[in-house]
Amino acid sequence: MMNSIKELAGKRDLLLNQDKMPLFDALVQYAKQDVTPFDVPGHKMGSTMTPLKQVLGEMTLRMDVNSMKELDLLSHPQSVIKEAQELAAAAFGADHAYFLVNGTTVGIQAMIMAVCKPGDTLLVPRNGHKSVMDGIILSGARPVFIQPEVDYHFGISHGVSIGSVERAIQEHPEAKALLITYPTYFGSMSDLQAICQLAHANDVTVIVDSAHGAHLPFMSDDMIDPISAGADAVTISMHKTGGSLTQSSILLVKEERVAPEAIQKLLSMLQTTSANYLLMSSLDVARRELVMNGSERLHQLRPTIDAAIAELETNSRYEVLKPDYVTKHFQQSYDWTKLVIRVNGIGLTGFDVYTMLKESYGIQMELAEGYVVMAVISNADTAESIGKLVNALQDIERRFGQQNVIMSTNVTADQVNQLVISPREAFYAEQESVFIDDAIGRISADTLMIYPPGIPLVIPGELISEEVVQQYHYYRETLGEVLIEAKEANHITVVKENA
Ligand SMILES: Cc1ncc(COP(=O)(O)O)c(C=O)c1O
């Protein structure tokens, strides 16, 4: 009883202290001291790197230091990193938070390895990010893929349905864990609360790739964040929508089903022993900013987004993906900070418009697909930045719009690739490089994908079908390049036959 009162008091203090930035403050204080460094990094607080110092400023380099007593150690946090992580855990409603310096990628790998031993079954959406596939290879988990909902009108995929999760759990009672992408890159959100209830009732642990959802707990709308929905472990890319520096993410854990010790051990294995303090301290600052001002800023932005969508759709053939549409057709909710704009109605591909926006209007979009371009809105946006995008799109339609509508079965290909051997077996098998057109019927040892969004067309262990090869050619022609590991052009690495 005493303990739980103490625990509650501790939690209350953490919630009350969200304006604090223990790690950032300690780092700034150290950087301001008159220290003679005989430790690494060898640039010695910027004394030898003039061009970098000129651009970044002296303070940035003085803050680029290594672990030491007063700045704590990421792999064994005892003081300021520990405090900063505890504040982050409280801000996101988790029991534990772990700072990551290799993005959500390393968090996903650690989550999978923590919940699946080699050979354990992991239920996973087929439109998962490359890091999920790599986590499967590293862990030796046996993936069972769940097909996501395909949207033929916008040419994208959404989250998985509760029905398909239910089927997967019924067909695989041995499943140890389920990975959900929430929200998807395009902003759709499955019914995570129902999915968690169903999974837990069947003793399946739920881990969540929330690379695009760091802002969710701070939305004033009725969007539920993964921890509140009941997830057991979640990784969020604070650097994507939470305001921290690129590469910095947070892994959140609820300890009922995921052992914090296992997570800490895995992160110590997978992450560098020289974690970057600029990245880590930016997590401390971004967490404070989200808690103190996040909701208000995002709330203020909503009418601006709604007005921009209305203006863009008036007298035009553009169409914007909206929450009502996603709910009506796919029974999923939608994160309105993603602006997915269907452009194939003006006779151009998403790739054409993406390039035009960059080259003629100085606008960098997040991604393009066959039918759409996507903008990510954050609380750093303003009516002015959003207005610039709307004006540019209107101008593109006026100047370059065609009468035809572009449609291609390659964009909405929803073939299910056959997994012949596990991704890990394929990874370690003897391999050879073959011409892509000759690869039909062979087992891939390569990951073939377009980036972004980084969702593989084929992964190691899957049979290369005619559709996969067709998609490869489509993306090469429309996009110019497809990411593939094989060195020679138009080649793919496959598993050697009879190997
Ligand atoms: C859905 C999804 N998951 C995971 C990642 C990996 O995140 P990070 O870049 O933080 O490593 C990404 C990156 O784009 C992503 O889109």
pLDDT at res. 298 = 85
Q: Which domains does the chain have, with CATH numbers?
A: 2-24+67-290 (3.40.640.10), 33-66 (no CATH), 293-400 (3.90.1150.150), 423-495 (3.90.100.10)
Tell me, using a 6 A CB cutoff, whether residue 248 lines ligand 1.
Answer: no
Q: What percent of the chain has pLDDT over 90?
A: 80
Query: d(Cα 90, Cα 100) in Å, to the nearest integer?
Result: 17
pLDDT digits (tens, 9 = 90+) for 300-318: 899 999 999 999 999 899 9
Tell me the mean pLDDT in the region 115-127: 95
Nearest residue by C-alpha to atom 7 in ligand 1: 104
Pocket test for ligand 1, best of 109, 237, 282 (most atoms within 8 A of CB): 237
- Answer yes or no: is pLDDT of 186 > 90: yes
What's the pLDDT band for 2 if we cut at 50, 70, 90? Answer: very low
In tens, the pLDDT along 339-363 reads 999 999 999 999 999 999 999 999 9
User: Best substitution site from 102, 105, 111 to test ligand 1's pocket, by max atoms within 8 Å of Cβ?
Assistant: 105
Mean pLDDT within 8-13: 76
**Mean pLDDT of the 312-328 span:** 95
Ligand 1 within 6 A of CB of 105: yes
Closest alpha carbon to 60 in 31, 39, 103, 24: 31
CB of 157 closer than 6 angstroms to any ligand 1 atom: no
- Mean pLDDT for 460-481 is 87
User: Is 244's C-beta closer than 6 angstroms to any atom of ligand 1?
Assistant: no
- Going by pLDDT thresholds of 50, 70 and 90, the confidence category of residue 452 is low
> Above 50 in pLDDT, residue 265?
yes
pLDDT of 454 > 60? The answer is: no
Give the chain's mean pLDDT: 93
Cβ(127) to ligand 1 under 6 A? Answer: no
Residue 1: which pLDDT band, with cuts at 50, 70 and 90?
Answer: very low
Average confidence (pLDDT) over 82-99: 97
Model confidence band, residue 453 (pLDDT cutoffs 50, 70, 90): low
Q: How far is the CA of 263 from the centre of ligand 1 (A)?
A: 19
Look at residue 187 in the predicted model and tell me its pLDDT: 97
Distance of CA 363 to CAs 21, 201, 357, 391, Å?
A: 34, 47, 5, 11
Q: How far is the CA of 96 from the centre of ligand 1 (A)?
A: 21
What does the pLDDT look like over 394-432, one tens digit per residue? 999 999 999 998 887 777 767 789 999 999 999 999 999
What was the pLDDT predicted at 295? 85
> Using 50, 70 and 90 to split pLDDT, how confident is the model at 246?
very high
pLDDT at 8 > cutoff 80: no
Regarding the beta carbon of 130 and ligand 1, being less than 6 Å apart is answered no
